[in-house]
Structure 1
């Protein structure tokens, strides 16, 4: 798995609340991008030297910093943000290639999920509770109220076979 795929997965996992796995993936990516330290130092020097904003691109070219280097630095900073550990008080439910979390608000319960390898789009009303379900590629999202959480999760697991 390459760094961009790791960061993509880590971003979605932070959305569902799985900060531990997301942090591990981001740290792996940070190790791969650790050689960007020199590039970051050069970019900081260029930013200090440039007296006008429109001169930055010319000075970057003069220092032989190309687009690929800048993307590498940007990916490093994204990985750094995703690697921050947070307290995980959200219960993560794992069933095969699917990870789900249930977030309870005042009246509405929200299910956020990640289905590795799933493709396609599906929208349906939940039959086990009052609410709806949206499956879009790897992302699972549902909102419901007046229903049992376990019944809704079982219905989501049945519907993820796209």
Structure 2
């Protein structure tokens, strides 16, 4: 059975990255948008990343412009905005599609493994997925779930 580690993604500069690079780490995968009303969640995601990165957590951000044009800028501008406006140091990747027939294969897999309240699609920016050290999708969190609300689940996985 496929795991998250079976997928390849691109950096904002177009470099291919295999998610096997994150084997052995707990991951939070999140679709982001700098112009979204939920963008203050960048702060909570960064706090989790800083607090637990030395214990084996990595947050991976995947910008998406599929929801009301809330990530309209280039990959370079998006990366800069995340660093300057939100202090983001966790890895950000090139903009992707999370819904539709041309959704990124990683997101097709995530949605297949953990369906949401309204079915398989991603409802909005800042839908979050928790991945264990072996690349299994453990839990899906709604856009409105704060990063802080995920902390106990993250700690449990890190201690497993």
State whether TM-score is above 0.5: no
Between structures 1 and 2, the one with greater helix share: 1
Higher RCO (C-alpha 8 Å, min separation 6):
2
Between structures 1 and 2, the one with greater strand share: 1
What TM-score does the superposition give when structure 2 sets the normalisation length? 0.27
What TM-score does the superposition give when structure 1 sets the normalisation length? 0.27
